Amino acid sequence: MTDTTAWSLRLTERLQGKFRGQILSREPLNRHTYFRIGGPGDAMAFPADLEDLKTVLAAARHDGIPVLILGGGSNMLVLDGGFRGLVINLSRSFQELSAAEEQIRCGAGVRTSRLLAFSARAGLAGLEAVTGVPGTVGGAIHGNAGTHMGTITDHLDWVRLVDDSGDERCLSRRELGIAYRHVAFPPGAVVIEAAHTLRRGAASEIRRTISGLLVRRHLTQPVEARSAGCIFKNPSGDFAGRLVEQVGLKGLRRGGAQISERHGNFVVNLGGAAAQDVLWLIERAAGEVEARTGVALELEIQVVGSPCPA
């Protein structure tokens, strides 16, 4: 019996009768990432609700099992060896969505597209800046996702977090250490809910803005391909995509992966790409840009897991 099997069984026994969600073992993570890349997670838990999430976090902490929180898997490259530990998938739970006056409260597992459609229906403007940002609200807040128009945290009032001791707390926008594509959460904190205060706007106007942004996105980005969105953060005063184009690497292929021909800051999975192909392209692009322009590109995507199978 491997170590993985042993701890998976212990965890399953510990959760017997207490956990109402689903637990899968050796779950291929390429089924759960936008890139469609990534080896298996030793185990994957889908908590049914907050109590379930607390139960599974406490059990993992008790047994010293590493935890990876997964929202929509849209801004993530999981390596080919997968994740040695427990993946907690929040995309099926935390789906509450409500509006009271100008405030929208939203569970972390809600898709950003659903939040945006809800805000338009409610005639509340301000979230259009996240048009086209894939994945869940929890994941988007975690990485402060956005577009040239703004980010998911621009109108954020507060987020509710839980940690592996089961403690819940609310942090206001000012307490979050918000920066470009970054939010400084306390270590181990999991986003479970967020509240945004918006402004009144005509639903037709909000929908027009969203449509315009979607058209722009389709024209400039490989939206129909499997990718993880922009690979690098934009360096101050410039654009990563422009720099990769300048050094002539758009269209470069490695295995099943390619630097997008449409946008230099995207790597696309043409089919069957391995994480190591993507990493090779990322390193090549960053290396070439730094050598030829002096700009050190910083990763925007989260790279997780082990390079080699267990």
The stretch among 13-21, 31-39, 141-149, 202-210 that binds ligand EPU (CB under 6 A) is 141-149
Residue 300 makes contact with ligand EPU by CB under 6 A: yes
Residue 245 makes contact with ligand EPU by CB under 6 A: yes
Query: Can you tell me which of 148, 174, 204, 236 binds ligand EPU, judged by CB under 6 A?
Result: 148
262-291 footprint of ligand EPU as x/- string (CB under 6 A): -xxx--------------------------
Per-residue burial over 165-186, b = 16 or more CB atoms within 10 Å of its CB, e = otherwise: eeeeeebebeebebeebebebe
Q: Where are the beta strands (DSSP E) in 126-260?
A: 146-147, 150-151, 156-162, 168-172, 178-179, 182-183, 190-197, 199-200, 253-254, 257-259
Query: Can you tell me which of 4, 95, 147, 197 binds ligand EPU, judged by CB under 6 A?
Result: 147
DSSP per-residue string spanning 164-179: TT--EEEEEGGGS-EE
Scanning 17-126, the segments in alpha helix (DSSP H) are: 50-63, 112-121
Query: Can you tell me which of 8, 234, 258, 269 binds ligand EPU, judged by CB under 6 A?
Result: 234
Query: Can you tell me which of 241, 273, 278, 285 binds ligand EPU, judged by CB under 6 A?
Result: 241
Contacts with ligand EPU in 87-116 (CB under 6 A)? none
Which residue, 47 or 134, is less far from ligand EPU as judged by CB? Answer: 134
CB of 33 to ligand EPU, least distance (A): 14
Q: Alpha-carbon distance 45 to 70, whole Å?
A: 10
Cα–Cα distance list, 185 to 19, 100, 142, 174, 188 (Å): 27, 27, 8, 12, 8
Query: How is residue 226 annotated by DSSP?
Result: B
Residue of 285, 283, 278, 284 lying closest to 80 (CA atoms): 278
12-51 footprint of ligand EPU as x/- string (CB under 6 A): ----------------------------------------
Residue 138 makes contact with ligand EPU by CB under 6 A: no
Which residue, 152 or 171, is less far from ligand EPU as judged by CB? Answer: 152
> By the 8 A CB rule, do 112 and 136 touch?
yes
Count of residues of this chain found to bind ligand EPU when the rule CB under 6 A is applied: 17
Q: What's phi and psi for 195, nearest 5 deg?
A: -125, 135
Binding region for ligand EPU (CB under 6 A)? 145, 147-148, 220, 229-230, 233-234, 239, 241-242, 245, 250, 263-265, 300
